[in-house]
Structure 1
Amino acid sequence: MAVDESLLESTADSQRPTLRFYQWSEPTLSLGYFQKYADRWSHAESRDAACVRRASGGGAILHDVELTYSYCVPTADPRSTSVTSLFDLFHQSLIVTLAELGVTAAICGKPQKHPEGDPFLCFERRSSVDVIVDGYKVCGSAQRRGRGAVLQHGSILLGRSTAAPQLPGIVELAGVRIAADELQNVWLPNLSQILQVNFEIGALTGGEIDLATETEKSRFASPDWTEKK
Protein backbone atom coordinates (compact mmCIF):
# COMPACT_ATOMS: atom_id res chain seq x y z
CA MET A 1 0.00 0.00 0.00
CA ALA A 2 2.84 2.38 0.78
CA VAL A 3 4.51 1.64 -2.57
CA ASP A 4 1.28 2.45 -4.39
CA GLU A 5 1.04 5.72 -2.47
CA SER A 6 4.62 6.53 -3.44
CA LEU A 7 3.90 5.77 -7.10
CA LEU A 8 0.87 8.07 -6.96
CA GLU A 9 3.14 10.91 -5.88
CA SER A 10 5.84 10.17 -8.46
CA THR A 11 3.23 9.89 -11.24
CA ALA A 12 1.91 13.34 -10.31
CA ASP A 13 5.45 14.70 -10.58
CA SER A 14 6.59 12.85 -13.72
CA GLN A 15 3.21 12.89 -15.51
CA ARG A 16 3.91 9.32 -16.66
CA PRO A 17 1.48 6.48 -15.89
CA THR A 18 2.68 3.54 -13.81
CA LEU A 19 1.27 0.02 -13.75
CA ARG A 20 2.13 -2.41 -10.96
CA PHE A 21 1.20 -6.08 -10.45
CA TYR A 22 1.80 -7.79 -7.12
CA GLN A 23 0.77 -10.50 -4.68
CA TRP A 24 0.81 -10.68 -0.88
CA SER A 25 3.26 -12.60 1.29
CA GLU A 26 0.48 -13.87 3.57
CA PRO A 27 -3.33 -13.83 3.57
CA THR A 28 -4.20 -10.20 4.28
CA LEU A 29 -7.48 -8.34 4.70
CA SER A 30 -7.42 -4.87 3.17
CA LEU A 31 -10.17 -2.57 4.37
CA GLY A 32 -11.59 0.07 2.06
CA TYR A 33 -10.67 3.56 3.17
CA PHE A 34 -14.14 4.34 4.55
CA GLN A 35 -14.83 1.01 6.28
CA LYS A 36 -14.95 0.68 10.05
CA TYR A 37 -12.12 -1.34 11.54
CA ALA A 38 -14.46 -2.97 14.08
CA ASP A 39 -16.41 -4.52 11.21
CA ARG A 40 -13.49 -6.77 10.35
CA TRP A 41 -14.42 -8.97 13.32
CA SER A 42 -17.78 -9.68 11.70
CA HIS A 43 -15.97 -11.90 9.19
CA ALA A 44 -14.91 -14.86 11.29
CA GLU A 45 -12.76 -16.67 8.74
CA SER A 46 -10.30 -13.75 8.32
CA ARG A 47 -9.87 -12.95 12.01
CA ASP A 48 -6.35 -14.41 12.07
CA ALA A 49 -5.28 -12.65 8.88
CA ALA A 50 -3.16 -9.52 8.84
CA CYS A 51 -5.14 -6.35 8.25
CA VAL A 52 -4.34 -3.10 6.46
CA ARG A 53 -6.39 -0.11 5.31
CA ARG A 54 -6.24 0.89 1.67
CA ALA A 55 -6.13 4.49 0.46
CA SER A 56 -8.83 3.58 -2.06
CA GLY A 57 -12.47 2.90 -1.24
CA GLY A 58 -14.73 -0.11 -1.59
CA GLY A 59 -15.30 -3.22 0.48
CA ALA A 60 -12.78 -5.44 2.27
CA ILE A 61 -10.64 -7.75 0.14
CA LEU A 62 -8.98 -10.94 1.33
CA HIS A 63 -5.73 -10.98 -0.62
CA ASP A 64 -4.53 -14.56 -0.94
CA VAL A 65 -5.15 -16.57 -4.13
CA GLU A 66 -5.39 -13.52 -6.34
CA LEU A 67 -3.51 -10.90 -8.34
CA THR A 68 -3.54 -7.26 -7.29
CA TYR A 69 -2.85 -4.39 -9.66
CA SER A 70 -2.41 -0.68 -9.22
CA TYR A 71 -2.45 1.93 -11.95
CA CYS A 72 -1.39 5.52 -11.40
CA VAL A 73 -2.31 7.96 -14.15
CA PRO A 74 -1.92 11.75 -14.36
CA THR A 75 -5.14 13.74 -14.08
CA ALA A 76 -4.12 15.34 -17.40
CA ASP A 77 -5.23 12.08 -19.03
CA PRO A 78 -8.84 12.80 -20.08
CA ARG A 79 -9.88 9.26 -19.13
CA SER A 80 -9.06 10.01 -15.49
CA THR A 81 -11.86 12.56 -15.24
CA SER A 82 -14.55 9.87 -15.46
CA VAL A 83 -15.01 7.62 -12.44
CA THR A 84 -15.82 4.59 -14.60
CA SER A 85 -13.71 5.15 -17.73
CA LEU A 86 -10.56 3.50 -16.39
CA PHE A 87 -12.63 0.76 -14.76
CA ASP A 88 -14.17 -0.01 -18.15
CA LEU A 89 -10.80 -0.14 -19.92
CA PHE A 90 -9.20 -2.45 -17.37
CA HIS A 91 -12.19 -4.72 -17.01
CA GLN A 92 -12.89 -5.05 -20.74
CA SER A 93 -9.25 -5.91 -21.40
CA LEU A 94 -9.37 -8.46 -18.55
CA ILE A 95 -12.39 -10.13 -20.17
CA VAL A 96 -10.44 -10.40 -23.44
CA THR A 97 -7.44 -11.80 -21.55
CA LEU A 98 -9.48 -14.38 -19.67
CA ALA A 99 -11.04 -15.51 -22.97
CA GLU A 100 -7.53 -16.13 -24.31
CA LEU A 101 -6.91 -18.29 -21.24
CA GLY A 102 -10.11 -20.29 -21.70
CA VAL A 103 -12.42 -18.45 -19.28
CA THR A 104 -15.70 -16.78 -20.25
CA ALA A 105 -16.28 -13.60 -18.27
CA ALA A 106 -18.61 -10.62 -18.63
CA ILE A 107 -19.41 -7.18 -17.22
CA CYS A 108 -21.96 -7.32 -14.41
CA GLY A 109 -24.35 -4.75 -15.91
CA LYS A 110 -27.17 -3.62 -13.61
CA PRO A 111 -26.90 -5.51 -10.33
CA GLN A 112 -29.67 -5.74 -7.77
CA LYS A 113 -28.99 -3.85 -4.56
CA HIS A 114 -28.43 -5.92 -1.44
CA PRO A 115 -31.52 -5.52 0.77
CA GLU A 116 -29.42 -5.12 3.93
CA GLY A 117 -26.88 -2.69 2.47
CA ASP A 118 -23.38 -3.30 1.17
CA PRO A 119 -21.80 -6.54 2.42
CA PHE A 120 -18.48 -6.31 4.25
CA LEU A 121 -16.49 -8.16 1.56
CA CYS A 122 -15.86 -6.46 -1.76
CA PHE A 123 -16.43 -9.66 -3.73
CA GLU A 124 -19.90 -10.04 -2.24
CA ARG A 125 -20.81 -6.57 -3.51
CA ARG A 126 -21.81 -5.77 -7.10
CA SER A 127 -21.40 -2.70 -9.28
CA SER A 128 -22.27 -2.31 -12.93
CA VAL A 129 -18.60 -2.42 -14.01
CA ASP A 130 -17.50 -5.54 -12.08
CA VAL A 131 -16.22 -8.59 -13.95
CA ILE A 132 -18.21 -11.76 -13.29
CA VAL A 133 -17.81 -15.45 -14.12
CA ASP A 134 -20.86 -17.71 -13.83
CA GLY A 135 -22.65 -15.03 -11.81
CA TYR A 136 -19.82 -14.50 -9.29
CA LYS A 137 -17.59 -11.44 -9.09
CA VAL A 138 -13.94 -12.16 -9.92
CA CYS A 139 -12.63 -8.62 -10.35
CA GLY A 140 -13.46 -5.25 -8.89
CA SER A 141 -11.60 -1.94 -8.78
CA ALA A 142 -11.55 1.25 -6.72
CA GLN A 143 -9.90 4.65 -7.01
CA ARG A 144 -8.28 7.36 -4.99
CA ARG A 145 -7.71 10.81 -6.49
CA GLY A 146 -4.58 12.63 -5.38
CA ARG A 147 -2.76 15.81 -6.29
CA GLY A 148 -2.20 15.60 -10.03
CA ALA A 149 -2.79 11.85 -10.36
CA VAL A 150 -5.32 9.06 -9.79
CA LEU A 151 -4.59 5.69 -8.19
CA GLN A 152 -6.74 2.75 -9.26
CA HIS A 153 -6.60 -0.52 -7.33
CA GLY A 154 -8.01 -3.82 -8.50
CA SER A 155 -8.02 -7.47 -7.48
CA ILE A 156 -8.58 -10.59 -9.60
CA LEU A 157 -9.77 -13.62 -7.63
CA LEU A 158 -7.92 -16.63 -9.06
CA GLY A 159 -9.03 -19.16 -6.45
CA ARG A 160 -10.79 -19.67 -3.15
CA SER A 161 -8.97 -18.73 0.06
CA THR A 162 -9.43 -20.62 3.33
CA ALA A 163 -9.69 -17.16 4.93
CA ALA A 164 -12.68 -16.32 2.70
CA PRO A 165 -14.25 -19.68 1.81
CA GLN A 166 -17.55 -18.12 0.71
CA LEU A 167 -15.81 -16.58 -2.34
CA PRO A 168 -15.11 -18.92 -5.27
CA GLY A 169 -12.39 -17.87 -7.69
CA ILE A 170 -11.80 -18.49 -11.36
CA VAL A 171 -10.53 -22.05 -10.85
CA GLU A 172 -13.67 -23.07 -8.94
CA LEU A 173 -16.04 -21.26 -11.31
CA ALA A 174 -14.50 -22.10 -14.68
CA GLY A 175 -12.33 -25.10 -13.92
CA VAL A 176 -9.29 -23.26 -15.30
CA ARG A 177 -6.26 -22.78 -13.07
CA ILE A 178 -4.43 -19.56 -13.92
CA ALA A 179 -1.17 -18.62 -12.19
CA ALA A 180 -0.75 -14.97 -11.24
CA ASP A 181 2.33 -14.52 -13.42
CA GLU A 182 0.54 -16.15 -16.38
CA LEU A 183 -2.37 -13.74 -16.06
CA GLN A 184 0.00 -10.81 -15.76
CA ASN A 185 1.99 -11.79 -18.86
CA VAL A 186 -1.09 -12.25 -21.05
CA TRP A 187 -2.93 -9.21 -19.70
CA LEU A 188 -0.06 -6.71 -20.03
CA PRO A 189 -0.04 -6.44 -23.86
CA ASN A 190 -3.82 -6.18 -23.91
CA LEU A 191 -3.69 -3.36 -21.36
CA SER A 192 -0.92 -1.64 -23.29
CA GLN A 193 -3.06 -1.71 -26.42
CA ILE A 194 -6.31 -0.50 -24.87
CA LEU A 195 -4.63 2.19 -22.74
CA GLN A 196 -2.33 3.19 -25.62
CA VAL A 197 0.68 3.11 -23.31
CA ASN A 198 3.98 1.39 -24.06
CA PHE A 199 4.94 0.11 -20.62
CA GLU A 200 8.60 -0.40 -19.78
CA ILE A 201 9.64 -2.86 -17.08
CA GLY A 202 11.48 -1.00 -14.35
CA ALA A 203 12.33 -0.86 -10.65
CA LEU A 204 11.40 1.69 -8.03
CA THR A 205 13.66 4.72 -7.90
CA GLY A 206 15.55 5.61 -4.75
CA GLY A 207 13.13 8.45 -4.10
CA GLU A 208 10.11 6.17 -4.48
CA ILE A 209 11.61 3.64 -2.07
CA ASP A 210 12.38 6.33 0.50
CA LEU A 211 8.86 7.76 0.30
CA ALA A 212 7.30 4.30 0.51
CA THR A 213 9.38 3.48 3.59
CA GLU A 214 8.38 6.72 5.28
CA THR A 215 4.71 6.27 4.34
CA GLU A 216 4.69 2.70 5.61
CA LYS A 217 5.92 3.79 9.02
CA SER A 218 3.63 6.80 9.34
CA ARG A 219 0.47 5.32 7.87
CA PHE A 220 -0.02 1.82 6.50
CA ALA A 221 1.89 -0.05 9.22
CA SER A 222 0.47 2.14 11.97
CA PRO A 223 -2.51 1.00 14.09
CA ASP A 224 -3.59 4.65 14.20
CA TRP A 225 -4.14 4.53 10.42
CA THR A 226 -5.59 1.02 10.21
CA GLU A 227 -7.99 1.53 13.11
CA LYS A 228 -8.76 5.20 12.43
CA LYS A 229 -12.43 4.59 11.60
Structure 2
Amino acid sequence: MAIDEAISIAHSEGAVAPTVRFYGWNPASLSIGYFQHAEKEVDFRALREHGLGFVRRSTGGRAVLHDQELTYSIVVSEGYPGMPANLAEACAELSRGLLIGVQRLGLDTTMTGQIDETEEQSGSERVSERKPLTAACFDAPSKYELLVDGRKIAGSAQMRGNGVIMQHGSILLELDDEKLFSVLRFGGPDIKQRMRKLFGRKAASINDCLRRREMPPVSVQRLEQVFRDSFAEGLNVEFMDGQLTEGELELAAKLSREKYGADNWNYLR
Protein backbone atom coordinates (compact mmCIF):
# COMPACT_ATOMS: atom_id res chain seq x y z
CA MET A 1 0.00 0.00 0.00
CA ALA A 2 2.89 2.33 0.73
CA ILE A 3 4.41 1.68 -2.68
CA ASP A 4 1.13 2.43 -4.46
CA GLU A 5 0.88 5.76 -2.67
CA ALA A 6 4.56 6.56 -3.23
CA ILE A 7 4.16 6.01 -6.98
CA SER A 8 1.08 8.25 -6.95
CA ILE A 9 2.94 11.06 -5.19
CA ALA A 10 5.99 10.71 -7.44
CA HIS A 11 3.79 10.86 -10.53
CA SER A 12 1.98 13.97 -9.23
CA GLU A 13 5.39 15.64 -8.93
CA GLY A 14 6.34 14.67 -12.48
CA ALA A 15 9.14 12.39 -11.25
CA VAL A 16 7.85 9.17 -12.85
CA ALA A 17 5.72 8.13 -15.80
CA PRO A 18 2.20 6.66 -15.54
CA THR A 19 2.64 3.24 -13.97
CA VAL A 20 0.96 -0.15 -14.03
CA ARG A 21 2.17 -2.53 -11.33
CA PHE A 22 1.40 -6.18 -10.51
CA TYR A 23 2.23 -7.64 -7.12
CA GLY A 24 1.43 -10.24 -4.48
CA TRP A 25 1.40 -10.32 -0.67
CA ASN A 26 3.82 -11.96 1.75
CA PRO A 27 2.51 -12.93 4.19
CA ALA A 28 -1.04 -13.31 2.93
CA SER A 29 -2.92 -10.33 4.39
CA LEU A 30 -6.31 -8.87 5.09
CA SER A 31 -6.81 -5.33 3.87
CA ILE A 32 -9.79 -3.22 4.87
CA GLY A 33 -11.21 -0.14 3.20
CA TYR A 34 -10.60 3.37 4.48
CA PHE A 35 -14.12 3.68 5.91
CA GLN A 36 -14.29 0.34 7.75
CA HIS A 37 -14.22 0.02 11.55
CA ALA A 38 -11.29 -2.30 12.32
CA GLU A 39 -12.20 -3.36 15.86
CA LYS A 40 -15.86 -3.98 15.01
CA GLU A 41 -15.32 -5.84 11.76
CA VAL A 42 -12.04 -7.78 12.15
CA ASP A 43 -11.29 -10.70 14.50
CA PHE A 44 -7.64 -9.97 15.27
CA ARG A 45 -7.16 -13.11 17.34
CA ALA A 46 -8.16 -15.26 14.36
CA LEU A 47 -5.99 -13.11 12.13
CA ARG A 48 -2.94 -13.88 14.27
CA GLU A 49 -3.81 -17.58 14.43
CA HIS A 50 -3.79 -17.74 10.62
CA GLY A 51 -0.52 -15.80 10.47
CA LEU A 52 -2.09 -13.12 8.29
CA GLY A 53 -0.93 -9.56 7.89
CA PHE A 54 -3.27 -6.60 8.23
CA VAL A 55 -3.45 -3.13 6.70
CA ARG A 56 -5.97 -0.37 6.07
CA ARG A 57 -6.10 0.80 2.47
CA SER A 58 -6.24 4.46 1.51
CA THR A 59 -9.10 3.58 -0.86
CA GLY A 60 -12.67 2.64 -0.01
CA GLY A 61 -14.38 -0.71 -0.29
CA ARG A 62 -14.49 -3.67 2.07
CA ALA A 63 -12.23 -6.39 3.43
CA VAL A 64 -10.14 -8.37 0.95
CA LEU A 65 -8.07 -11.46 1.75
CA HIS A 66 -4.94 -11.08 -0.37
CA ASP A 67 -3.76 -14.64 -0.68
CA GLN A 68 -3.99 -16.60 -3.93
CA GLU A 69 -4.48 -13.65 -6.22
CA LEU A 70 -2.86 -11.09 -8.49
CA THR A 71 -3.06 -7.49 -7.30
CA TYR A 72 -2.75 -4.65 -9.78
CA SER A 73 -2.41 -0.89 -9.47
CA ILE A 74 -2.61 1.88 -12.05
CA VAL A 75 -1.33 5.41 -11.44
CA VAL A 76 -2.08 8.03 -14.09
CA SER A 77 -2.72 11.75 -14.29
CA GLU A 78 -6.30 12.99 -14.42
CA GLY A 79 -5.20 15.03 -17.44
CA TYR A 80 -3.81 12.05 -19.37
CA PRO A 81 -4.99 12.20 -23.01
CA GLY A 82 -8.36 10.49 -23.37
CA MET A 83 -8.88 10.03 -19.62
CA PRO A 84 -12.50 10.89 -18.73
CA ALA A 85 -13.01 13.52 -16.02
CA ASN A 86 -16.00 11.65 -14.62
CA LEU A 87 -15.07 9.21 -11.84
CA ALA A 88 -17.21 6.33 -13.08
CA GLU A 89 -16.15 6.76 -16.71
CA ALA A 90 -12.47 6.86 -15.70
CA CYS A 91 -12.99 3.64 -13.72
CA ALA A 92 -14.47 2.04 -16.84
CA GLU A 93 -11.52 3.20 -18.93
CA LEU A 94 -8.97 1.80 -16.50
CA SER A 95 -10.90 -1.44 -16.02
CA ARG A 96 -11.10 -2.32 -19.72
CA GLY A 97 -7.89 -4.34 -19.41
CA LEU A 98 -9.51 -6.51 -16.72
CA LEU A 99 -12.38 -7.37 -19.05
CA ILE A 100 -10.04 -8.23 -21.94
CA GLY A 101 -7.82 -10.37 -19.68
CA VAL A 102 -10.64 -12.50 -18.29
CA GLN A 103 -12.00 -13.02 -21.80
CA ARG A 104 -8.54 -14.13 -22.99
CA LEU A 105 -8.63 -16.82 -20.33
CA GLY A 106 -11.71 -18.23 -22.06
CA LEU A 107 -14.36 -16.92 -19.66
CA ASP A 108 -17.50 -15.09 -20.78
CA THR A 109 -17.50 -11.87 -18.81
CA THR A 110 -19.87 -8.98 -18.21
CA MET A 111 -19.21 -5.65 -16.54
CA THR A 112 -21.47 -4.31 -13.82
CA GLY A 113 -23.28 -0.99 -13.84
CA GLN A 114 -23.72 0.35 -10.30
CA ILE A 115 -21.17 2.20 -8.23
CA ASP A 116 -20.35 1.63 -4.58
CA GLU A 117 -16.71 0.80 -4.04
CA THR A 118 -14.87 3.52 -5.94
CA GLU A 119 -13.90 6.56 -3.98
CA GLU A 120 -12.97 10.05 -5.05
CA GLN A 121 -10.58 12.16 -3.05
CA SER A 122 -10.24 15.88 -3.66
CA GLY A 123 -7.96 17.42 -1.09
CA SER A 124 -9.28 16.02 2.18
CA GLU A 125 -12.77 15.27 0.87
CA ARG A 126 -13.84 11.65 0.54
CA VAL A 127 -17.09 10.31 -0.83
CA SER A 128 -18.41 7.24 0.97
CA GLU A 129 -20.21 4.32 -0.64
CA ARG A 130 -23.58 2.76 0.16
CA LYS A 131 -23.91 0.40 3.13
CA PRO A 132 -22.56 -3.08 2.16
CA LEU A 133 -24.17 -6.44 2.85
CA THR A 134 -21.14 -7.73 4.80
CA ALA A 135 -17.68 -6.58 5.80
CA ALA A 136 -16.22 -8.65 2.95
CA CYS A 137 -15.48 -7.39 -0.52
CA PHE A 138 -16.83 -9.44 -3.46
CA ASP A 139 -20.23 -9.96 -1.82
CA ALA A 140 -21.80 -7.53 -4.28
CA PRO A 141 -20.59 -6.09 -7.58
CA SER A 142 -19.67 -2.44 -7.94
CA LYS A 143 -19.68 -0.34 -11.04
CA TYR A 144 -17.36 -1.56 -13.79
CA GLU A 145 -16.33 -4.74 -11.98
CA LEU A 146 -16.39 -8.12 -13.63
CA LEU A 147 -18.96 -10.88 -13.37
CA VAL A 148 -18.58 -14.46 -14.57
CA ASP A 149 -21.70 -16.63 -14.21
CA GLY A 150 -23.21 -13.74 -12.25
CA ARG A 151 -20.43 -13.80 -9.65
CA LYS A 152 -17.83 -11.13 -9.00
CA ILE A 153 -14.35 -12.18 -10.05
CA ALA A 154 -12.29 -9.00 -9.59
CA GLY A 155 -12.65 -6.02 -7.26
CA SER A 156 -11.24 -2.52 -7.66
CA ALA A 157 -11.13 0.77 -5.76
CA GLN A 158 -10.01 4.21 -6.83
CA MET A 159 -8.89 7.46 -5.22
CA ARG A 160 -7.82 10.82 -6.57
CA GLY A 161 -5.53 13.47 -5.18
CA ASN A 162 -3.16 16.15 -6.49
CA GLY A 163 -4.41 15.63 -10.05
CA VAL A 164 -3.58 11.89 -10.05
CA ILE A 165 -5.80 8.80 -10.24
CA MET A 166 -4.70 5.70 -8.35
CA GLN A 167 -6.76 2.57 -8.94
CA HIS A 168 -5.89 -0.83 -7.53
CA GLY A 169 -7.67 -4.12 -7.22
CA SER A 170 -7.63 -7.84 -6.62
CA ILE A 171 -7.91 -10.53 -9.32
CA LEU A 172 -8.74 -13.77 -7.51
CA LEU A 173 -6.90 -16.89 -8.60
CA GLU A 174 -8.41 -19.02 -5.80
CA LEU A 175 -10.93 -18.09 -3.12
CA ASP A 176 -10.74 -19.34 0.47
CA ASP A 177 -14.02 -18.02 1.84
CA GLU A 178 -13.68 -20.15 4.99
CA LYS A 179 -10.47 -18.36 5.97
CA LEU A 180 -11.86 -14.96 5.01
CA PHE A 181 -14.99 -15.36 7.11
CA SER A 182 -13.02 -16.75 10.04
CA VAL A 183 -11.24 -13.40 10.45
CA LEU A 184 -14.32 -11.19 10.13
CA ARG A 185 -16.77 -10.36 12.92
CA PHE A 186 -20.52 -10.86 12.66
CA GLY A 187 -23.46 -10.50 15.02
CA GLY A 188 -23.46 -14.25 15.73
CA PRO A 189 -22.67 -17.67 14.22
CA ASP A 190 -26.03 -17.89 12.43
CA ILE A 191 -25.48 -14.53 10.76
CA LYS A 192 -21.93 -15.52 9.79
CA GLN A 193 -23.14 -18.78 8.25
CA ARG A 194 -25.89 -17.01 6.33
CA MET A 195 -23.55 -14.30 5.05
CA ARG A 196 -20.98 -16.88 4.00
CA LYS A 197 -23.58 -18.73 1.93
CA LEU A 198 -24.58 -15.45 0.33
CA PHE A 199 -20.93 -14.64 -0.36
CA GLY A 200 -20.48 -18.01 -2.08
CA ARG A 201 -23.25 -17.12 -4.51
CA LYS A 202 -21.83 -13.66 -5.19
CA ALA A 203 -18.07 -14.26 -5.50
CA ALA A 204 -15.85 -16.49 -7.63
CA SER A 205 -12.22 -17.04 -8.55
CA ILE A 206 -10.57 -17.43 -11.94
CA ASN A 207 -9.65 -21.08 -11.39
CA ASP A 208 -13.04 -21.96 -9.93
CA CYS A 209 -14.71 -20.66 -13.10
CA LEU A 210 -12.20 -22.49 -15.30
CA ARG A 211 -12.77 -25.79 -13.46
CA ARG A 212 -16.52 -25.43 -13.88
CA ARG A 213 -15.89 -25.39 -17.62
CA GLU A 214 -13.50 -28.35 -17.37
CA MET A 215 -10.63 -26.09 -18.40
CA PRO A 216 -7.16 -26.31 -16.79
CA PRO A 217 -6.41 -23.88 -13.95
CA VAL A 218 -3.80 -21.17 -14.46
CA SER A 219 -0.82 -20.10 -12.36
CA VAL A 220 -0.29 -16.62 -10.98
CA GLN A 221 2.63 -16.24 -13.41
CA ARG A 222 0.29 -16.98 -16.33
CA LEU A 223 -2.28 -14.61 -14.87
CA GLU A 224 0.27 -11.79 -14.70
CA GLN A 225 1.33 -12.25 -18.32
CA VAL A 226 -2.25 -12.32 -19.55
CA PHE A 227 -3.20 -9.17 -17.67
CA ARG A 228 0.00 -7.36 -18.58
CA ASP A 229 -0.93 -7.81 -22.23
CA SER A 230 -4.62 -7.07 -21.70
CA PHE A 231 -3.99 -3.86 -19.74
CA ALA A 232 -1.67 -2.65 -22.51
CA GLU A 233 -4.41 -3.34 -25.05
CA GLY A 234 -7.16 -1.83 -22.90
CA LEU A 235 -5.16 1.35 -22.27
CA ASN A 236 -3.86 1.42 -25.86
CA VAL A 237 -0.25 1.79 -24.72
CA GLU A 238 3.02 -0.10 -24.95
CA PHE A 239 4.51 -0.99 -21.58
CA MET A 240 8.18 -0.64 -20.73
CA ASP A 241 9.68 -2.63 -17.86
CA GLY A 242 10.74 -0.42 -15.00
CA GLN A 243 11.96 -0.40 -11.43
CA LEU A 244 11.00 1.77 -8.50
CA THR A 245 13.21 4.85 -8.32
CA GLU A 246 15.32 5.64 -5.29
CA GLY A 247 12.88 8.42 -4.44
CA GLU A 248 9.89 6.08 -4.62
CA LEU A 249 11.61 3.50 -2.44
CA GLU A 250 12.55 6.10 0.17
CA LEU A 251 9.02 7.54 0.24
CA ALA A 252 7.45 4.06 0.40
CA ALA A 253 9.66 3.17 3.38
CA LYS A 254 8.63 6.39 5.13
CA LEU A 255 4.92 5.78 4.43
CA SER A 256 5.27 2.21 5.64
CA ARG A 257 6.78 3.33 8.95
CA GLU A 258 4.60 6.34 9.61
CA LYS A 259 1.29 5.31 8.04
CA TYR A 260 0.57 1.78 6.81
CA GLY A 261 2.63 0.12 9.54
CA ALA A 262 1.29 2.37 12.30
CA ASP A 263 -1.57 1.54 14.67
CA ASN A 264 -2.99 5.06 14.49
CA TRP A 265 -3.65 4.47 10.77
CA ASN A 266 -4.65 0.82 10.74
CA TYR A 267 -6.97 1.19 13.76
CA LEU A 268 -8.20 4.60 12.64
CA ARG A 269 -11.82 3.51 13.19
- Whether TM-score is above 0.5 comes out as yes
Are the aligned partners of 2:154 and 2:171 in contact in 1 as well (CA < 8 Å)? yes
- How far is 1:190 from its partner? 2.5
In the aligned structure 2, how far is the partner of 1:74 from the partner of 1:110?
Answer: 24
State which drifts further: 88-97 or 196-205.
88-97
CA 1:104/1:41 → structure 2, altered by over 3 Å: closer, same or farther? Answer: same
Compute the displacement of 1:182 (Å).
Answer: 1.2
One-letter amino acid of the structure 1 residue matched with residue 234 of structure 2: I
Return closer, same or farther for 1:171/1:157 CA change in 2, 3 Å cut-off.
same
**What RMSD, in angstroms, separates the aligned Cα atoms of the two structures?**
2.5
Mapped contact 2:97–2:235 kept (Cα < 8 A): no
Conservation of the 8 A alpha-carbon contact between 2:91 and 2:158? no
Aligned equivalents of 1:136, 1:42: Cα separation in 2? 26
Aligned partners of 2:31, 2:235: CA distance in 1, in Å? 27
Work out the CA distance in 2 between the residues paired with 1:56 and 1:34.
Answer: 8
Give the Å deviation of 1:138.
Answer: 0.8
Query: Are 1:69 and 2:79 matched, yes or no?
Result: no
* Deviation at residue 130 of structure 1 after TM alignment: 1.5
Structure 1 range deviating more: 170-179 or 138-147: 170-179
Q: For 1:174-185, what aligned pairs fall within 5 Å after superposition?
A: 174-175=210-211, 176-185=216-225
Q: Which stretch has the larger CA shift, 179-188 or 36-45?
A: 36-45
Map 1:1-229; keep pairs closer than 5 Å: 1-14=1-14, 16-41=17-42, 48=50, 49-77=52-80, 79=83, 81-109=85-113, 117-161=132-176, 163-164=179-180, 166=200, 167-175=203-211, 176-229=216-269
1:173-216 CA-partner distances (Å, limit 9, x unpaired): 33142222212212222222321322211111111100000010
Shift of 1:104: 2.1
Residues 147 and 43 of structure 1: is their aligned pair in 2 closer, same or farther, counting only changes over 3 Å? same
Q: What is the SS of the residue equivalent to 1:156?
A: strand
Bigger radius of gyration, 1 or 2? 2
Q: CA deviation at 1:92?
A: 3.2
Q: How many residues align?
A: 226
Structure 2 spans left out of the alignment, 5+ residues = 116-130, 182-199
For residue 43 of structure 1, report the CA deviation from its aligned partner.
9.5
Q: For 1:227 and 1:151, how far apart are their aligned partners in 2?
A: 23
TM-score, structure 1 length as denominator? 0.88
Shift of 1:110: 5.4
CA displacement at 1:99 relative to structure 2: 2.2
Is the CA contact (8 Å cut-off) linking 1:56 and 1:144 kept in structure 2?
Answer: yes
Matching residue's letter, 2:243: A
Aligned counterparts of 2:77 and 2:132: Cα–Cα separation in 1: 33
Separation (CA, whole Å) in 2 of partners of 1:148 and 1:110: 25
